């Protein structure tokens, strides 16, 4: 189903504060474990979406992905940042599903980088 801008698509989903806290902790932990060149993970919220950026140790900020809240703190929809289009595109996680854990979203961002994504040289080094 396609929705047009301004069209009523139902009630706006609000992400609970406890879920925001849990999400930040999970993503920070995964980034610290996998990518030493990431100094901090920043998350911006708008409606039912969480926009995830990496603050790198060299001072640059790299957009990574958009997570869609599914009314569960452990299962999120996933979209990859496309620098070439200046947007996010719904994508599949390593599991093959369009939704999963936030940590899977970061792993997908890494996998995208390994295939030549715009931030490949930054995120691949740390494994």
64-82: per-residue pLDDT in tens?
Answer: 999 999 999 999 999 998 8
Residue 6 is assigned to a structural domain of this protein:
no
Rounded Cα distance between 66 and 44, Å, is 9
Contacts of 59 (CB under 8 A, 6+ apart): none
Rounded Cα distance between 63 and 80, Å, is 9
Residue 11 is assigned to a structural domain of this protein:
no
Rounded Cα distance between 55 and 10, Å, is 34
Find the domain containing 118 and state its range.
17-123
Residue 33 is assigned to a structural domain of this protein:
yes
Residue 48 is assigned to a structural domain of this protein:
yes
Report how many domains make up the chain.
1
Residue 12 is assigned to a structural domain of this protein:
no
CB 36 within 8 A of CB 1: no
Residue 56 is assigned to a structural domain of this protein:
yes
| pTM score, whole prediction | 0.80
Residue 95 is assigned to a structural domain of this protein:
yes
Contacts of 42 (CB under 8 A, 6+ apart): 52, 53, 54, 55, 61
Residue 35 is assigned to a structural domain of this protein:
yes
Reported as a single tens digit per residue, the pLDDT across 88-103 is 999 988 788 999 999 9
């Amino acid at each position: 189903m396609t929705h047009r801008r301004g069209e009523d698509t139902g009630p706006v989903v609000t992400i609970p504060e406890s879920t925001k806290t849990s999400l930040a902790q999970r993503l920070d932990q995964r980034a610290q474990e996998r990518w030493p060149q990431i100094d901090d993970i920043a998350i911006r919220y708008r409606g039912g979406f969480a926009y995830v950026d990496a603050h790198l140790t060299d001072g640059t900020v790299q957009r990574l992905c958009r997570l869609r809240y599914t009314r569960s703190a452990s299962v999120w929809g996933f979209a990859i940042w496309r620098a070439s289009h200046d947007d996010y595109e719904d994508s599949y996680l390593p599991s093959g599903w369009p939704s999963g854990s936030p940590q899977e979203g970061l792993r997908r961002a890494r996998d995208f980088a390994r295939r030549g994504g715009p931030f490949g040289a930054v995120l691949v080094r740390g494994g």
